[in-house]
């Protein structure tokens, strides 16, 4: 995958050796990333973006428009559900239903978290329960009915964008519940409101992040 690592490194006046120290890798690894000889892991990609204070798509672009940007644009035009695995679609159906029940105009991260827990057979629910939360979500025959495209607030949009980035970096074609959960966990690292939400659900963020890194 082509990238702008060399350009960003020089803009920040860093040598390959200095960047390698910041990342905890060898200079040869940095050289390999820059040359495109091999791609960084998903975790390393997020680390690079955080280090340069840019989004992942600002690191891995460089032709007129790369597939990641196209995918994000497709999402922003709402939704292209063919990109989502069936259980991930159910997350949005449930979270939209929950928002409607509460009389709120938009789907919030708390609605998405409830959706990630709603199906106990989903990867996201299993991971959340194995990492601290004891919350069980009650569902009924109408919980997963389609009610049109969900209206997401800004935080929820960011969560989905992060999940799209994860899928693109993996080279996969569809977004699963684990990718949506990854987006939620990533945003919780910088968003105090979402971090507090995760604490309220008694979720061990560090352990959950490690497990997600192993399967994504």
| 18-52 tens-digit pLDDT | 999 999 999 999 999 998 888 787 678 778 888 88
Tell me: pLDDT of 77 over 70. Answer: no
**Average pLDDT over the chain, rounded to whole?**
85
Return the higher-pLDDT residue of 43 and 214.
Answer: 214
Is 32 in the same domain as 87? no
CATH label of the domain that carries residue 204: 1.10.1780.10
Boundary (domain end) residue, out of 62, 86, 103: 62
The last residue of one of the domains, among 43, 62, 81, is: 62
169 belongs to a structural domain = yes
Which of helix, strand or coil describes residue 154?
helix
Query: What mean pLDDT comes out for the span 66-86?
Result: 53
Burial of 214 (0-12, 13-18, 19+ CB in 10 A): exposed
Q: Mean pLDDT check: name the lowest of 55-59, 120-124, 202-206.
A: 55-59
End-to-end CA distance of the chain: 18
The CA distance from 170 to 139, in Å, is 32
User: Residue 20 belongs to what domain range?
Assistant: 5-62
Write down the pTM of the prediction: 0.66
CA distances from 126 to 120, 144, 170, 177 (A): 7, 19, 21, 10
Could you check whether the bond before residue 79 is cis, i.e. omega within 30 degrees of 0? yes
- For the chain, how many structural domains are there in total? 2
How many CA atoms does the CB half-sphere of 161 hold within 13 Å? 17
Is the separation of the CB atoms in 30 and 40 below 8 Å? no
Higher per-residue confidence, 192 vs 49? 192
Alpha-carbon distance of 169 to 150, in angstroms, equals: 25
Q: According to the model, what pLDDT value does residue 75 have?
A: 44
């Amino acid at each position: 995958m082509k990238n702008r690592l060399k350009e960003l490194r020089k803009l920040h006046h860093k040598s390959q050796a200095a960047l390698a120290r910041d990342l905890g890798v060898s200079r040869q690894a940095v050289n390999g990333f820059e040359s495109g000889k091999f791609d960084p892991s998903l975790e390393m990609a997020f680390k690079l973006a955080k280090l340069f204070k840019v989004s992942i798509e600002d690191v891995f672009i460089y032709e007129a428009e790369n597939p990641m940007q196209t995918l994000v644009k497709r999402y922003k035009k709402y939704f292209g559900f063919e990109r989502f695995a069936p259980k991930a679609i159910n997350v949005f159906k449930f979270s939209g239903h929950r928002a409607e029940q509460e009389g709120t105009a938009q789907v919030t991260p708390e609605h998405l978290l409830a959706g990630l827990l709603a199906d106990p057979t989903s990867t996201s629910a299993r991971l959340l329960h194995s990492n601290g939360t004891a919350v069980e979500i009650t569902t009924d025959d109408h919980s997963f009915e389609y009610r049109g495209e969900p209206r997401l607030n800004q935080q929820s949009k960011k969560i989905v964008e992060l999940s799209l980035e994860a899928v693109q970096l993996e080279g996969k074609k569809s977004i699963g519940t684990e990718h949506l959960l990854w987006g939620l966990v990533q945003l919780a690292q910088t968003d105090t409101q979402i971090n507090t939400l995760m604490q309220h659900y008694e979720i061990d963020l560090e352990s959950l992040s490690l497990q997600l890194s192993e399967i994504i």
